[in-house]
Structures are given as structure tokens and as C-alpha cells.
Amino acid sequence: MFMMSDSTPPHAAYGYTRVSILRPGEEGLSLDAQTRRITKRVEEYEWPLAEIFVEPGISAGIAWRKRPQGHKLFARLQPNDVVIVASLDRCFRSALDALTTIEDFRGRGIRLLALDFGELTEEGVCELIVTVLAAVAEFERELASERVRAIKQYLRSQGKVMGKDPDWGYGVDEENYLVPIPEQQEMIDYMCARAATGVSYRAIERELKAQYGYAPSHPTIARAIKMRRENPIVLAPHILAGPAQPADA
């Protein structure tokens, strides 16, 4: 049986599972699969399982202790407890997040066990291995984000958008083609012109409200200007052509 450093079993065992919003139901990483692995290990070691904290739809980009269920878990932990996760990448946002958490657990007398790796809070070479693995996981997440950005950029070049959440100034049709909203496009023209003369986004917001009776928030104005300047949107050919004209009689 797994024992703590003073040869006594842990006071309480807690499980933690997470699925990213970008990878729901991915093979081997589902919440049910993680829960089964954790429960099986607890039963093998005859640990007193207190609770399994389930984090559905939470990105790894959020620090563990700042996630809703992660925060609850950290508040429950006491000295001589053990936390079990199915894999290292279910926990940490970055290498720094991993090392900070591990050092915090060590200082509080809490153990951390990743089923794909082993004891993460023991002394010695484990620190080096955890640093490397956490850095690799962070690199992989960056690659995934880069791929998503590339896909969005490609779709934009085709006059399309990913999902149904276009930039301000556009709607989408049934095929996810961008459809410009004339009045909002006119407002973006005004935003860009005023920003080019040094007018602040908050001032532009006030001017738009006075002129149109409504306006997007100043953060939205900043994004709209940035998108217009750095990522020109190419509309689909059938939109650029306009409505079909009737044939001559």
C-alpha cells in the first residue's frame, strides 16, 4: 500500500478530472475514463476517497487553482492528503504553474500523484522530469492554439468564419460566409478614421453614441480597428457580386 513519508496512509484522497473545451470526448481523456482510472487506483491502495472534483469544459490555459473545481479542491486540502489525477496535462497551465503548485503542496504536506507519471511531490530527480514534461505540455498547447489561429485565418481568406461568432460588423449566413452589416461597417470606417488622428477609443465610443444613438464598447472598438488594420476580411465571391440581376428580356 502507498504510504506517506511517516509510513501512515493518507488522511484523505481526492481525485481531479478535467476536459478541455477544445477537446471534448477525446479518446482516453473523457471525464468518465479519468474517473474510472482514479477510482481503480484508490481501490487498489485502499485509500479513503473523499471526493472527485470534475471540471468539464475548462481550458488548460487557466491555472489549476483558479478553475472553479480546482479552487474548491485546493480549499479542501489538508496536511497528509493525497490528490490523484489521470495525467499530468489535466492539472497544469504551464511549467511555472506546475512547479509553484508542487512546491505549495510540499510545504503543506500534501502529496500529488499523476497516474501517467507517478509521485510528483517526492524529492530528487522528479523535479527535473516534472519541469520538462510541463514545458512540453505547454508547448503542445501553443501548437494547438497556433493551428486554430491558422484555420481561422484560412477561413477568413475564403470569406468564412469558424462557428457563428463573427467579428463586430458582420453576420454569417447558413454556410458560415461573412455578411457585412452596412451600418456597422460605416461605423468601423468612422472608428478607423478617428483613431488615425489620435482620438481615444472611449472618445470614439461617445461620438458614435451621439451620432448613431448606440455604440459598441470601447474594447470592441479597439478589436474592430485592429481587425480592420491587420486582418482584412475577404468576402465570399457571391457576396461581393451582390444580388443577381434579372436577365434582359
Query: What would the pLDDT profile of 85-96 be if each residue is shown by its tens digit?
Result: 998 888 887 777
pLDDT category of residue 97 using cuts at 50, 70 and 90: confident
Same domain, 126 and 44: yes
Look at the chain and report how many structural domains it folds into.
Answer: 2
Cα separation of 52 and 55, whole Å?
A: 10
Q: Could you tell me the CA-to-CA distances from 57 to 10, 22, 92, 242 in Å, in that order?
A: 30, 8, 15, 41
**pLDDT of the residue at 94:** 77
Whether 163 maps to a domain, the answer reads no
Same domain, 25 and 129: yes
Whether 120 maps to a domain, the answer reads yes
Contact 184, 246 (CB under 8 A): no
Same domain, 53 and 121: yes
Same domain, 21 and 124: yes
Same domain, 200 and 89: no
Same domain, 54 and 121: yes
Alpha helices in 58-200 (DSSP H): 68-76, 95-108, 126-157, 182-196
pLDDT category of residue 34 using cuts at 50, 70 and 90: very high
Same domain, 24 and 136: yes
**pLDDT of the residue at 23:** 47
Same domain, 104 and 208: no
Cα separation of 65 and 88, whole Å?
A: 15
pLDDT category of residue 18 using cuts at 50, 70 and 90: very high
Cα separation of 36 and 190, whole Å?
A: 57
How large is the average pLDDT for residues 42-60? 91
Domain coverage including residue 200: 170-240
Same domain, 92 and 179: no
Give me the residues paired with residue 118 across strands: 114
Same domain, 17 and 126: yes
- What's the CATH number where 27 sits? 3.40.50.1390
**pLDDT of the residue at 72:** 96
